[in-house]
Structure 1
Amino acid sequence: MAGIFGRIKQKFSKASIEMDKYQEAITFAEAGEAEHALAAVSEQTEEQQTMQLLVVGRESTFSKEIFDYALDMAQRMSYEILALNTAPLSCDTFKLFSNSRDQLCEEFKSLSEKNVAMFQQAAAEKGIAFHHIVKFSETEEALQEVTRDNKNIAFVVSESIEDRAESRIEEGERLRTNLYVYSMV
């Protein structure tokens, strides 16, 4: 429960800082200092960045479930979508065959871009900004790198790893995709 109140307090403190900046701009504008007023407002708009929803695909693809969920969430929350495809193609794997690695990486990247096109088109139809990243590392490493580089990621949406589908069928359980949503606050 303390986490919720902490986030609410953080939002109010951000709002207070924003109000102070706007009040400063109004004061400068009323004093006839238009340049200072514009500078104060432009600083404020540069600081404001749209929050992003990081959607992690399974290698080069995105399932229909994660695709639909991410579009719905991004639209409701006014977030941009940052789609991430990963392939565990480290330098150690292809030490002796550097040409093969480059070719494989290019093929993976083009396949990822082809597979994400429908996702990107659906986002554009809904007016949602869409960005796509391809990383050649393990999913966990790629997540750490992307969240370190992009401080405005609010949530991460990913799928479960379906490694026990056969045992679930034997137990009479229907196959379904589990989606996981993580807060990055």
Structure 2
Amino acid sequence: MIDYHLERPEPKQMLSKSLIIGALSTVGWLLGLVPALDVSNTLEFETSAYAQEFNQAQVNAFARSILEIELAREATQQQNPGTAQNFECDIASGRVININSFASEIRQPIQSLCNQSQSILQQNRLSAAQFRQMKNRYDRNPQQYPQITAAFGTLCQQNKYKKLQVCR
């Protein structure tokens, strides 16, 4: 007989993880990090993502990038309410793929947010590929949650990030 000891997670802990996952999903969605429909490429990418291990400095850079992009997204959205629409930012090139589908008055703020996202990754010494790999790994690998969640928790203590929804 197998005896399982199940602990009930703390509500605050569950909410915190849910908000972090929500923020990651939103940033991924805004940056165009949507899964490809080509199964062969997806499987090949997943294999390479799981093969790579990330050190603590990379995890911290990833968490800091997510929070910085979220700050930029919130600021852009407050200044330009129409920018909350779905747009696809190719962070490798800094180009908004579907820019022509937006009204001309919100194209510049959307493009600016895409450029800011690319700059944030560069400032944190992360390539677009590394960022994408870490995001996919975080989304798919529960063993990675504690390390990344701890990095978010540490950064959320800084005044700069305290007002973000994900840090509350």
> What TM-score do you get using the length of structure 2 for normalisation?
0.30
Task: Give the number of the structure whose residues are more often helix, by fraction.
Answer: 2
> What TM-score do you get using the length of structure 1 for normalisation?
0.28
Q: Using CA pairs under 8 Å that are at least 6 residues apart, name the structure with larger relative contact order, 1 or 2.
A: 2
